[in-house]
Amino acid sequence: MKRIMWAISCFSLAGTALVLPFMPDTVPMHYDMAGNIDRWGSKYENLIFPLLILFMSLIMALFLRYFDKKALGAAEEKARAEAQSNLRVVGVTGVLVAAMLTVLQGFILLAACRTAAAGAEKQPVDIGKVSVILMGALFLVLGNLMPKTRNNPFFGVRTSWSMYNDNTWRRTNRFGAFALVAAGLLTVALGLFMRNSLAAATASLGLMLLAVAVTSIYGYRVYLREREAEKGDK
């Protein structure tokens, strides 16, 4: 997974570098909420985003290294299996994030080229809507990955009560997965059918916060029941 992630990230930078010679020297770099161009800049500014993708891949690579070392150094089979499970989840997440951002970079370049070539004053491609749809798709995939995580300090629903023991972790993250998938489906629908991309992005953020809040409440209730069960056993 690490190699695929780096390949996608490098493709984003290399693809941008290949496109730059065919772009006008000055291209649109920012749009207002109505889609009007409010800043033009050098075409070479388009290299910033691919470099950020590479930086994010570096962060994910460090997480992969952490879980890989934990799996190799685990003294017990249970700890090794948990680290390997988290390693797979982080690897898939890294690939997905790199791919999503690379697709977004492609739309950004397309919009810049088409706008500059036509001498238009508005963006021909609604990057906001594209971003919302891609974010919703990412929510869907991450929601399916969450139940596969094991108790760890970096990924999943991490609260003091969800990390209380393996049962609270498993049940909270399974519930959180359903909440995130639901938020993802609604986010994709918002991106597809809402005309105002800012409103769609705001609603998407609200759905994400709602999913987090509902999952946290559920996780706390699971924690309380777990504590009560432990007291009963004593």
pLDDT tens-place values along the chain, 234 residues long? 788 999 999 999 999 999 888 888 887 777 766 667 777 788 898 899 999 999 999 999 998 898 888 888 877 887 788 888 888 888 888 998 899 999 989 888 887 777 766 665 666 677 788 888 988 998 898 888 888 888 877 778 888 888 888 889 999 999 999 999 999 999 999 988 888 888 888 899 999 999 999 999 999 999 999 888 877 665
Strand ranges for the chain from DSSP E:
26-31, 37-42
The pairing of strands 26-31 and 37-42 is: antiparallel
Residue-level pLDDT at 119: 63
Residue-level pLDDT at 144: 87
Residue-level pLDDT at 182: 94
Residue-level pLDDT at 115: 73
Nearest to 155 by CA among 164, 146, 165: 146
Nearest to 9 by CA among 84, 70, 65, 60: 60
Residue-level pLDDT at 72: 85
Could you give the C-alpha distances from 208 to 143, 179, 183, in angstroms and in order? 12, 9, 6
CB count in 10 Å sphere of residue 69: 12
Residue-level pLDDT at 121: 65
Residue-level pLDDT at 42: 87
CB count in 10 Å sphere of residue 164: 18
